[in-house]
Amino acid sequence: WIKDGDADGRCSDDDNGRLSKELDLVGHHVRTRLDELKRQEVSRLRMLLKAKLDSTNTQSLQMDHTSLLKQFEHLDPHNQNTFEAKDLELLISTATKDLENYDAERHEEFKRYEMLKEHERREYLKGLDQEKRDQEEKRLQELKEKHRQHPKVNAPGSVAQLREVWEETDGLDPQEFNPKTFFKLHDTNEDGVLDEQELEALFTKELEKVYDPKNEEDDMMEMEEERLRMREHVMKNVDLNKDRLVSLEEFLRSTEKKDFNNPKEWETLDAKPLYTEEELQRFEAELRDKEEELKRKAETLHQEQELLKERGKALEAQKREYQQAVLEMSQRQKEQQAAGNGPPPAGPNGELQFQPQTQKPEEAKAPAEAQSNLPAEPPQNLPVHT
């Protein structure tokens, strides 16, 4: 039910009406969960926006979140509480764009992989003497030629390619090939469409003609790039509404085209170079720059490591000095206690105990004499006689 859409991946008003009706048929617990997920996503985006504004020192006492949320294309910013058909349309459109970008990034990554292989090959040959270099270049060229000697590869999505799958994978009579039956056989999850994984599975027989993991000359990374190219070729010619899914109607329409019965010969990756010599030189220059940067970082880290070692040594020396000072102080305290000048003795619980001082005879006699010299006081409270 997310299949309908026009050629640019957007949904028309009629499509929106159908999506809305389909959403109405979804169970209440599913709709409740979709609403909850949307509110969580809106909250997450608000936090991202706030963090972005804080990082740029943008002060705004009254932020218009609705306007700010418009920069995100995968949800409807005007309705921030419930999941509706508009949100589904935007999700489909955004997901399609993301997948297209992902494929482009995969192609670029593979191109860099191939340039790295060539760079490493040249560097390896530079390290050999002339005789060994000639022998190795000859061996590598023979491997390259051996890889090119493979059976003819049928164009993906052509009648020849599909009949080969029908016969060798499905075990059916090629003379009884039926496109509608073929579609249903390979719609493995029975959702009414062929997705990208189901399509790529159809190309395995063709890829096995060119790539064998047991052969030194066959690169499995190249095989996966070839699979991606085949899938893109089929999608370009069959997926009419560009939603990256092939419906039964689209599949049957493709079988009526002229290219279905008389396709152009499929060119594998080794048919033409993936990069120019200028691109390779720029790539090697980039590698050298990165290597120099890594060397500078390594030297900086080495210097910091040496500095840390010196600081460690200084701290160790200070530690020894401190330990020596504590030892000397403890020794002096012991000597003072031995000489009788130490602190008062301690009780069983660590409290200080003070002993009463004993007075000398002269000191005790003086207060007694002072007391005897005082005048006598008259007696108090004597009885009165009348």
Domain at 199, CATH number: 1.10.238.10
By C-alpha distance, which of 181, 176, 200, 25 is closest to 103? 200
- Whether residues 104 and 186 share a domain: the answer is no
The answer as to whether 248 is a domain residue is yes
Residue 260's alpha-carbon distances to 41, 158, 163, 263, in angstroms, are: 45, 5, 12, 6
Q: Is 163 domain-assigned?
A: yes
Residue 68 lies in a domain: yes
Residues 156 and 107 in one domain: no
Owning domain of residue 55: 12-111
Last residue of a domain, one of 80, 111, 142: 111
Low-confidence ranges of the chain (pLDDT < 50): 1-14, 16-17, 61, 382, 385-386
**168 and 70, same structural domain?**
no
* 94 and 171 share one domain: no
Q: Are residues 77 and 24 in the same domain?
A: yes
pTM attached to this predicted model:
0.60
In a domain, 303, yes or no: no
**Last-in-domain residue among 111, 140, 160:** 111
* 228 neighbors 234 (Cβ within 8 angstroms): no
In this prediction, residue 2 carries a pLDDT of 39
Overall domain count for the chain: 2
Model confidence over 87-101: pLDDT tens digits? 666 666 666 676 677
Looking at the fold, whether 63 and 173 belong to one and the same domain comes out as no
Contact between residue 109 and residue 117 where contact means Cβ atoms under 8 Å apart: no
Do 106 and 189 fall into the same domain?
Answer: no
Q: Exposure of 22 by Cβ count < 10 A (0-12 exposed, 13-18 middle, 19+ buried)? A: middle
Burial string for 332-368 (b: 16+ CB within 10 Å, else e) reads eeeeeeeeeeeeeeeeeeeeeeeeeeeeeeeeeeeee
Question: Among the three residues 243, 275, 307, which one is the final residue of a domain in this structure?
Answer: 275
The pLDDT of residue 145 is 93
Report angle CA 224, 228, 234 to the nearest 5 degrees: 145
* Judgement on whether residues 157 and 215 belong to the same structural domain of the protein: yes
Burial of 260 (0-12, 13-18, 19+ CB in 10 A): buried
Q: How many CA atoms lie within 13 A of 313 on its CB side?
A: 5
